[in-house]
Structure 1
Amino acid sequence: MAIENRDIFLKKIAARLGKEKVRKKIEKPEWKYAPQKRVLKGASQSELISVLKNQCKLIHTDLIETNLSNLPQTLEDRVSDYGGESIVTWRDSRLKAWGVTAKLDELHKQGVAYYEWNHEVEVENIAIAEKANIGLTISEITLAESGTVVLFSDKHKGRTVSFLPEKSIILVPRSSIVPRMTQAAAYIREKIKETGVIPSCINFITGPSNSADIEMNLVVGVHGPINATYIIISDL
């Protein structure tokens, strides 16, 4: 989404505070030391995947590697492991291009309910996502260090798809894997600078829902999916 009426908004705030509008552009500071950029610096994509695999074990997340030609079958196997029943997905052209939509249509004929997000019926989307067994999304950026996937929401990619269903399957293009938050922030900043468009919501998700708020006892699935699987697509 584009930023609208920003100058008018800031001018009103400045007037209420009794200050003049800031006219001088604020330059981004250049720090002398940047240790955050040295973490996993120079790591190959294979090395980053190895780091991601190890981290996924710690965050109770299954990780599967496949390629584009085998993706539909890999997805079908995981859906079967999760009990099938019902799937909700984004409306994303990549799913069709990767053969996922055709596979979901096939599963639908076999009795697995399949619903694609429709921004024209907001309330219905949420109700279906809430009852769905599996939510299927795509990671735009994947942080090897923490095992975190980054999801960009827009009108066709409802954020509830990732946290209301009981299980979550997230497709991870190999090219999306970066060392850590440092690179993710830089990517998002450059993307917004290039397109002038800001996602309506950016979610950083690290495996299934985990909470240890009560007496430090870990409980999985309190605030989101109980199970999560990342499917790395090796040739994307």
Structure 2
Amino acid sequence: MKGEILNRDRFLTNIRSKIGGLSADQPVEKPVWTVSPQKKVLRDFTKDQLVGILEAQCDQIHTDFFQTTSQQLVKVLDDVLKKYEAKSIIYSNDSRYKEYRLDEYLHTADDDRKTFKWDQHDRDSSVSFAEKADVGITFSDVTLAESGTIVLFNGEGQGRSVSLLPKDYIAIVPKSTIVPRMTQATQYIHEMVEKGEDIASCINFITGPSNSADIEMNLVVGVHGPIRAAYIIVQDK
């Protein structure tokens, strides 16, 4: 049964009057801050320095860290998959796999390994495979050095299940995506909105493997997501 809203205008008018005499035809003006300290943190760091910050943070968040070139990416990824003993792999539907020649590698016939590319037209099959997969692989869209956070724009080709449901997770991080902290990520998203660009309805922020310390402050890894995580930093520019 569809609900009915009663006295909506009177209620909102009362709220506006209590917080400063605002009216429906007078939009709230964004304040102009005299200082913005959040923009100064790590502001002058080079990309290489940010990689160093990210590597140190990965040690704190129990995340394996690797660096490589685009030419050696296939080998490094193969080494990580062997380390994780991956027999089933799901990966996002992203043009960067072809750009880095990973599509060919992941499709190479291997009797001991099953791979599945996320299919936005068959979500049920994609989620079903992700639930049982050993490893999920995605590219990072924005990477926060300060917190060791991967930002994923979960559009049609990049279902959330790829990074959430498999036993382990691997993020491929183009070096150009690394920024100092959350400040730059939110600014980037804000600029996309201001330009009227299409953005994913869901944006995920992933900081290493699943963690919880809710019970007696004892850290447990892998409670509600991947048990292990690896970031592979790729020199792309």
- TM over 0.5, shorter chain: yes
Match for 1:58: what amino acid?
Q
Distance in 2 (CA, whole Å) between partners of 1:187 and 1:158 is: 21
Of structures 1 and 2, the larger Rg is shown by: 2
3-state DSSP class of the match of 2:203?
strand
Displacement of 1:195 in angstroms is 4.3
Displacement of 1:68 in angstroms is 0.7
The equivalent residue for 2:49 is: 47
Residues matched between the structures, number: 224
CA 1:49 to 1:125, structure 2 compared with 1: closer, same or farther past 3 Å? same
CA 1:86 to 1:73, structure 2 compared with 1: closer, same or farther past 3 Å? same
Q: What 5-or-longer segments of structure 1 have no aligned partner?
A: 1-11
Of 51, 74, 77, which aligns to 2:76? 74
Displacement of 1:14 in angstroms is 11
CA offsets 1:3-28 (integer angstroms, 9 cap, x no match) = xxxxxxxxx98972335783345443
The equivalent residue for 1:9 is: none
Of 53, 57, 61, which aligns to 1:59? 61
Range moving further from structure 2, 14-23 or 50-59: 14-23
The equivalent residue for 2:155 is: 154
The equivalent residue for 2:137 is: 136
Distance in 1 (CA, whole Å) between partners of 2:7 and 2:91 is: 46
Match for 2:30: what amino acid?
K
Displacement of 1:53 in angstroms is 0.6
Distance in 1 (CA, whole Å) between partners of 2:77 and 2:7 is: 56
Give the TM-score of the pair, scaled to structure 1: 0.89
- Runs of 4+ deviating beyond 6 Å: 12-15
CA offsets 1:10-63 (integer angstroms, 9 cap, x no match) = xx9897233578334544322112111111121111111111110000000011
RMSD, aligned CA = 1.9
The equivalent residue for 1:16 is: 8
Give the TM-score of the pair, scaled to structure 2: 0.89
The equivalent residue for 2:121 is: 120
CA 1:96 to 1:15, structure 2 compared with 1: closer, same or farther past 3 Å? farther
Distance in 2 (CA, whole Å) between partners of 1:139 and 1:219 is: 25
